[in-house]
Structure 1
Amino acid sequence: MISVQRVLTVLAVAFTAYLAARGLWWTEPVDYPLVIVAALALYLVVTWLCIFWRPVRDTAPVDGGDDRMRRSDRLPMVAQVLALSCAVIVPTAISRAVGPEARVDSFGTWYIGGIGALMVIVLVRGRPWTAWAGLALLAVASMAWMGPIPALQLGLVGSLVWLVVAQLVVKLVERAARDTSRLARLQRAASAWQTSQVVRQRERRVQVQKALAVAGPVLTRTVARGGELAEDDRLEARLAEGKLRDEMRGPRLLDDDVRTELERARRRGANITVLDEGGLDDVDEEMLKVIRAHLAETLRSASSDRIYIRTSPDARVAVTVVGRSSSVGTPSDEDAVDLWREIPHPGRA
C-alpha cells in the first residue's frame, strides 16, 4: 500500500535531484568543475540524509512480546548542523567555481532553489528555527556573491515563499492532527458513556424483574385485600422488603444459600442489614463462592437480634459480620455484641 509519506519522499528526492542536475548543465566553461561536482554531491548527500534519516527513539512492546522500533520524525541535531553548513558552503563553492561571468546563469544559481528546498525539508521535519536560519544564511551568501537585486530576482523570493507556505501547511496539519486526536478521545468517551448507560439500563431491568418477582405476589395480595393483611402476610411483606434491600445493597454477597439463611434469620425476628461498599469489586467469581459459603455458615449459627453484614476495605478481610442482642435488664442502645466474624479474602489471610 502506497502511503502519503512515501509519495512525498519520492517527490522530494526527485525535485532535489532535478535542482542539482541543473548545476551540471554548463552552457559555458567553468573555472573549477570538480568543485562544482563536489558541491553537488555534498548537497545531495545532506538533502537526502535530511529526508531519510529517522533515528530510533525508543522501543515499545507489542502483542506477542516483540519489540517494535519507533522512529522519530524530528530531524536530529547532526543533520541540522549539516544543513546549515550546506547553506553556507554550497553557495560559496558554486559561486567561486563557475567564475564571475556565470554567477547569474542557471547552472550558477541553482543552489538558491536547492537550498530553499532543503530548508523546506528541514522545516517539515520539525525544525522551523533551523530552516529559517538556513534561509537567512542563503540570503546573505547569495546576495554577497551576486548582489541583492539579482539574488531576489533569481530565486530567493521563491525560496522564501516556499518556506512560508510550508510553515502554514505544517501548522494546519498539526492543528488537524490535534483536532483529530481530540475528536477520537471524545468519541471514545462517548462510546464508554453509552456502554455504561446500556449496562446500567440492563442492571435496572434485572433489578426491576427481581423486585417484581419478590414483591409482586405480596403487592397483589395487598391490593386484592384492600390493605387488610393478616399477620402472615405482614411477615411476608417484611421479608420481601428485606430481600429487595439485600439485592440492591449487596448483590455480590448473595447466592441461594446466603438468601436462605437471611430469610431464616428474618423469620425468627432478626433485623439484618446487608451493605456492599465496593470491597469485592476486584474479587473473581471463584473467590466470591468461598466468601459466600463462609457467610452462609456464619448466618446459620447466628442468633443475634440485629446483624450487620458489610464488606471491608481491609486488604485481608473481605466481609465483616457483627451481631448485637439485647442484654437482660438493659436498654436497647446498650446491646451487647454477641457475634463478630471477619471473613478473610481467600489466599490473603
Structure 2
Amino acid sequence: MGASGIVISVRNVLVGLGLAFTAYLAARGLLGITTVPYPGIVLGALGLYLVTTWMCILWEPPRRDDRLEDSASGLPRRAKLPVWASALALTAAVIVPTAIAIAVGSEARTSLYATWVIGGIGALMTIVMVRRRPWVAWIGTIVMGAECMFWMGALAALALGLVGSIVWVGVAQLLIRSMDRAARDTTHLATLQRAASAWQASQSVRRRERRVQVQRALAVAGPVLIATVASGGSLSAGERVEARIAEGRLRDELRGPRLLDDDVRAELDAARRRGATVTVLDEGGLDGLDEASLAIIRTQLAETLRSANSDRLYIRTSPHDRVAVTVVGRSASAEGLSDEDAVDLWREIIHPGAADGEYSTL
C-alpha cells in the first residue's frame, strides 16, 4: 500500500473511533429514558450533542487547504474549526449538562444515564482542541465542570469523570503542540537537507571545473616544462616566447575561464606573439548566463582582439547590468602622454539582449 493509502486508512480509523466512542457515550444517556421526568429534554440534549460532535469530527477544510494536511495523522495541520462550529460546540457544552441535570431529576443526577455528560462533553472539547481551537476547548471544559459540580456536587463530579475529561483535553493540547513542533523540525530539516544537497552539487561542479582546468593547464604547460627540463633551463629565443605564451595561457585559464573558447584563445596567443601584454580577469558579472549568451560574448571578444593593435590589453568582466566585458588597450608610444591619451582602445561588450547595439567603441 502506498503512503497516501496509509494516511487515508489512519485517518478513517481515527474518525471511526471518534464516532463510535461518542455514540457509546450518548447511548448511555438512553438507558433511563423511560424513567426520567422529562425524556424529551434528554432526547433533545442527545441530539444536540451528537450533531455537534459528529460535525466537528467529520468537518473537512476546503480543497485548497489540502496542502496543510499533516502526514502523520491525515488531519489538517493548521486548518482551524470554523467559528460557527466552535460556537456550536461551546453552546452544547453550556446547554447539555444543565439540560440533562434538569431532565433526570435531582435523585438521578449521579446515575449512569446522567453522568455520561461529563465524558461526552469532555470528548467534544478534546475534538475541538484537536481542531485547533484551544481557548474554546478550555472554556467549554471549565463551563461543563462548573455546571456538573453545581448539579452533582464538587466531589461527586470529580469522582465521576471530570478529572478524566480535563486530562483528555490537556493531553490533546500537548499532543497537538508536539505534532506542530515535529512538523516544524521536519520542515527545518528538509530545508537543511536541500541546502546541503545544493552545496554538494555546487562542490561537485567546482571539483569538475578544477579537474578540467588542471588538465588544460597540464596540456598547455606540459610540453614547455618538459623542454625546459630537457634543456637544463637553457632555452632559445623561440622557446622563451613559447614559455611566455604558455604562462599567459595558464593565467587566462585560471583568471577568466568563462571568457575563453578556441577563437578567443587563438586571438590571445596572436596578440602575445606580436609582443602585446594581455591581462584577462573575470571579476563577476557572467554568473547565471547560459552557454548561448556566453558564446555571443566570446564571439564579440574575439572580433575585438582580432582588430586590436595595442601594446597592452586589459580584458575584464563587469558586474554592471548592461556591460558584460570591457576591453582596454594602451600603446607604448603614448607613454609620455596623459592617461586618457594613452588609451587607444576602449570597447564595452553589452549583455545579450540588454541593448540593440553589440558594443561601444572608443
Let me know the Cα RMSD of the aligned residues.
2.3
Distance 1:305 1:293 in 2: 22
Structure 2 residue 195 is matched with structure 1 residue 211? no
Residue aligned with 1:48, SS: helix
Q: CA separation in 1, counterparts of 2:14 and 2:254?
A: 61
CA distance in 1 between partners of 2:52 and 2:41 (Å) = 16
Using the size of structure 1 for normalisation, the TM-score is 0.90
Q: Following TM superposition, where does structure 1 have runs of at least 4 consecutive aligned residues deviating by more than 6 angstroms?
A: 331-335
> What is the Cα deviation at residue 247 of structure 1?
1.5
SS of the residue corresponding to residue 314 of structure 1 reads coil
Looking at structure 2, the residues matched to 170 and 114 of structure 1 have their Cα atoms a distance apart, in angstroms, of 21
Whole-Å separation in 1 of the counterparts to 2:334 and 2:321: 37
1:42-71: per-residue Cα shift (whole Å, max 9, x none)? 11121122223243395799xxxxxxxx99
The answer to whether 1:89 aligns with 2:86 is no
CA distance in 1, matches of 2:219, 2:266: 16
Change (3 A) 1:329 1:278: closer
Which of 293, 298, 301 is 2:304 aligned to?
298
The equivalences for 1:2-151 within 5 A come to 2-3=6-7, 4-26=10-32, 28-56=34-62, 72-151=78-157
Q: Which moved more, 1:300-309 or 1:80-89?
A: 80-89
User: C-alpha displacement at 1:185, in angstroms?
Assistant: 2.5
**Per-residue Cα deviation, 1:264-310 (whole angstroms, up to 9, x for no partner):** 00111111111222212232222222221111111001000111112
Distance 2:215 2:66 in 1: 48
Gaps of at least 5 residues in structure 1 are 62-69
Residue 218 of structure 1 and its aligned partner are, at CA, apart by 0.8
C-alpha contact 1:327 1:335 (8 A) present in aligned 2 = no
Secondary structure of 1:341's counterpart equals strand
Seen in structure 2, the aligned counterparts of structure 1 residues 179 and 283 have a Cα distance that, compared at 3 Å, is closer
Instruction: State the partner residue of 1:64.
Output: none
Cα distance, 1:153–1:328 mapped onto 2, change above 3 Å: closer
Deviations 1:195-241 (A, max 9, x none): 22222221111111011001111111111222222222221111111
Give the structure 2 partner of residue 245 of structure 1.
251
Instruction: Tell me which residue corresponds to 1:271.
Output: 277
In structure 1, the residue corresponding to 2:267 is in which secondary structure? helix
The residue number in structure 2 matching 1:330 is 336
Residues 1:164 and 2:170 are matched in the alignment? yes
CA separation in 1, counterparts of 2:138 and 2:260? 71
- The equivalent of 2:186 in structure 1 is 180
- Distance in 2 between the 1:308 and 1:51 partners? 74
Kept in 2, the 8 Å contact 1:280–1:318? The answer is yes
Distance 2:60 2:46 in 1: 23
Most deviating of 48-57 and 74-83: 48-57
Equivalent residues of 2:65, 2:79 under 8 A apart = no
Task: Say if 1:329 and 1:179 are closer, same or farther in 2 by CA, change over 3 A.
Answer: closer
Shift of 1:179: 2.7
TM-score by length of 2: 0.87
